[in-house]
Structure 1
């Protein structure tokens, strides 16, 4: 099994691959936390970091997948996420709905036997991947941002057992991932979850020549389109159009019937919305699996 340890700070078609893998191969990504492991104690805050391009949200990779061509879909199965024994929550003075009353503070969180300890309140962890995706075919996108290539989706459902589908926009796809959270609430309102170093085990596969405009997440019982924009309404339109298109393809329903079905059976959930910082809002639009129809995305 290949282990991926190189770190990059942007999704870019110009990133040099650190490894080449075959479809069907299993590999391990060793990731830093979103602060590049630079917050070493509670006396260190985000104010002490030059939290810019070369510090924020490092991702392990990128990996070149043999045979991945523009117009294909890269399939990533999350086999396992192993986290360190300590994580970090940190605030700043310009992020989240309560930013005007929030200064800089850091809290270290102990992880033991699958439980996090916050001031004596213990709760189970559910490790998830915040940053994951493929390279865009246009300008570079720093790892802290999100787009139709993936990136900082901060979708708390990207956990062990999930499957992701990404559009391939450059040869080899150039997969990278990082920004693991031991746990995170929808919205990530203060700007961080329990940020933590991790080892992620995945399998990569390909679907040839399939149109996908936004990343799709598959869980055991639902499909989710992941989309984003600076404002909620635009992000919702982006996700709705893609979910409608995919549902129409497999059901044969027209656009209006599909729209009606989405309204009564599908849910819009905000993944990351720690406004007013400049990072786009990330949301997911999920719909139940329909066993009487083919899968929403062609299977590898």
Structure 2
């Protein structure tokens, strides 16, 4: 099993890969928290952290045989978090009713300690993606390459599908949260360093426009856009396109079914923030009607 420790601040095809792997390999990514370990005490606050130090991705890994038009598959086998994380209010709807605050949150034996409340954490990857065909987006930005999707469904036991845009895909991941609610209201989960163990594989020649997540019981399309309406339309159209092929239904029946069984869930939308609206459109898994095979 290869261990990956190099970090980058952007997803870019111009990066020299940190290593080359083959489909079928298991990898261990050693990830930093979103502040690269710079928040050490409750006296520290993110305003002094530059964008280049935020949400660094561990990688980028060249996957042998991956070509544009393929899909990179990442099975998340385990996420082992550090024993302490941090949460800061950096934006969101309650900033006017709050003061800037950094909270150090112990995580002992996968139990988070927040004031007098305890709960079992369910770690997730905030950042996972591949290099886009054009541009060099910072790792804390989301897009059709993945990046900072902040979906709490990207966790142990989930399978992530990423559309390959450049040779080798150039996979990276990071920004683990020990715990995060949908929308990430204050702009932070429990930001924490972690070891992430994954298995990678490849699907050749499959049309996929946005990253997808497969959980035990649902399929999700993950989309980022400047506003809710655009993100909603793009995610639903991608889900509809895949379902027409998988279910053998026409577009209208898929539309009706999505209103009955589909869900629109907001990953992250904390203002003011340069990150677009990020959401996931989900549908239950049905045996024999796999959206990606």
TM-score w.r.t. length of structure 1: 0.96
CA RMSD, Structure 1 to Structure 2 (Å): 0.9
Instruction: Structure 2: give runs of 5+ residues left out of the alignment.
Output: none
**Residue by residue, what CA displacement relative to the aligned partner does 1:204-230 show, whole Å, maximum 9, x if unpaired?**
100000000000100111100001111
1:117, 1:297 → 2: CA distance?
Answer: 39
Corresponding residue of 1:81:
79
- Which position in structure 2 is the counterpart of 1:26? 26
Deviation at 1:114, TM superposition (A): 1.6
Residue in 2 aligned with 1:232? 228
Give, in angstroms, the shift of residue 98 of structure 1.
1.9
Distance in 2 separating the partners of 1:184 and 1:143: 19
- What residue number does 1:65 align with? 63
Q: Does 1:42 align with 2:37?
A: no
Say whether 1:168 aligns with 2:167. Answer: no
Aligned length: 293
What is the CA distance between 1:103 and its match in structure 2? 3.7
Q: Which residue of the partner structure matches residue 297 of structure 1?
A: 292
Secondary structure of residue in 1 paired with 2:150: coil
What TM-score comes out, normalization by structure 2 length?
Answer: 0.98
| Partner Cα distance (2:205, 2:135) in 1 | 23
Q: Deviations over 1:154-188 (max 9, x none)?
A: 00011111000000000000000000000000000
SS in 2 for 1:111: strand
Alpha-carbon separation, structure 1, partners of 2:120 and 2:80: 14
Are positions 1:12 and 2:12 aligned together? yes
Q: Which moved more, 1:58-67 or 1:9-18?
A: 9-18
Q: Write the mapping of 1:228-267 to structure 2, written as runs, cut at 5 A.
A: 228-267=224-263
User: Would you say the 8 A contact 2:35–2:49 is kept in 1?
Assistant: no
Paired residue secondary structure (1:10)? coil
1:46–1:79 CA distance, 2 compared to 1 (3 A): same
- Give the C-alpha shift of residue 91 in structure 1: 1.8
Alpha-carbon distance in structure 2 between the residues aligned to 1:190 and 1:210 = 37
Alpha-carbon distance in structure 1 between the residues aligned to 2:127 and 2:18: 18
| Partner of residue 209 from structure 1, selected from 190, 205, 208 | 205
For the residue of structure 1 that corresponds to 2:51, the secondary structure is: coil
- Compute the displacement of 1:113 (Å): 1.9
Task: Give CA-to-partner distance per residue, 1:247-298, whole Å, 9 cap, x none.
Answer: 00111111111111111111000011112312101100110111142x1012
What pairs with 1:45-124 in structure 2 (closer than 5 Å)? 45-47=45-47, 49-53=48-52, 55-92=53-90, 95-124=91-120
Asked whether the 8 Å contact 1:20–1:66 carries over to 2, the reply is yes
Aligned residue among 167, 182, 186 for 1:186: 182
Q: CA deviation at 1:50?
A: 3.1
